A and B are shown apart, each in its own frame.
Chain A
């Protein structure tokens, strides 16, 4: 009777041991699989970077001012005259820019009752990369002098100091019966980076 009890106890103990062993092995297997799957993947993080340069800004510093003109007598302002138009462009130093001017064919009275011809020759503009802003003191070699305002050079740049000026002259041709009064017209300057 005692032997039978002992046999039963041993059998149960052995079964429990096997069960625990099985569970342990299953847990171990699970951990190995998890470890394997975790190692089978890797992640790297890179970056995209960019530095945006200064935005272009254009302003009209001085108007092309012909002052008083006489009926039937044309008047010319050179681009190196104190009355020449001055535009100021600021942006990233030494960067290439495209320059386009929309030039008027006429100036007109405010009420539109009369208009006067204005013309621009192929040497009426200068591009001053020193950014002095004074058309009378532009130094030779500091940009482009006496160029065509209808076709600015592709090599134009913002000056090393971050500023470039454009000086513009022109000519008005009043008729002999030109109505007296103040005439105005818009000169529109558009500038864009070339990306160079």
Chain B
């Protein structure tokens, strides 16, 4: 009986001492105007155009980061191919994160990334490339980028 109470109390304390992390989307991946037939790349260093996410949580806690990346943007029944290279992601865990000179650069967004939250959390950026066809119909195209973070417990 005592043991059970201790376990329950410990779990309760663990829950209380480990607040949830939250992700904030600061910026979408914005390609802007794209010419038919001309691939366009947005680098992860491109302020205001690269996707930017901020993760807040317990400083020093290790988190896993996983993207679900699209392979096409869709619009008006047509698609634009997208490419994310294995260096298209960067992360900065410093209190004043720098997009143009991040602490961890050229990361692979197709793999699960594991980093520790800094005192101000963690900021990550994502670039990408859109490849419109020469006869790509004009108009707006969009795709969804899903980012999932979770504490690893370490």
Q: Which residues of A contact B (CB under 8 A)?
A: 18, 21-22, 25-26, 28-29, 32-33, 35-36, 39-56, 92, 95, 192-195
Contacts and interface: CB of A to CB of B under 8 A. Distances in A.
Contacts of B138: 51-55
A49 B130 CA distance: 10
Contacts of B75: 52
Contacts of B14: 36
A46 B28 contact: yes
Interface in B17-37: 18-25, 27-37
A42 B31 contact: no
Given A45-B144, A48-B73, A40 B150 contact: yes
A18 B2 CA distance: 11
Contacts of A42: 20-23, 55, 148-150
A51 B32 contact: yes
Nearest to B15: A36
B8 interface: yes
Contacts of A54: 36, 138
A51 B136 CA distance: 11
Given A25-B8, A40-B20, A53 B36 contact: yes
B73 A50 contact: yes
Contact of B140 (A44, A46, A50): A50
Contacts of B34: 50-53
Contacts of A40: 18, 20-21, 150-151
Given A36-B15, A43-B148, A48-B142, A26 B132 contact: no
A39 B11 CA distance: 14
Contacts of A51: 31-34, 138-141
Contacts of A194: 38
Contact of A48 (B25, B53, B55, B82): B82
A29 B3 CA distance: 12
B12 A32 contact: yes
Contacts of B55: 42
Contact of B35 (A22, A44, A195): A195
B79 to A, nearest CB: 11
A48 B4 contact: no
B20 A56 contact: no
Given A50-B40, A192-B37, A55 B137 contact: yes
Interface in B98-154: 128, 130, 132, 134-151
A36 B29 CA distance: 32
A194 to B, nearest CB: 8
B1 to A, nearest CB: 7
A21 B21 contact: no
B51 interface: yes
A48 B29 contact: yes
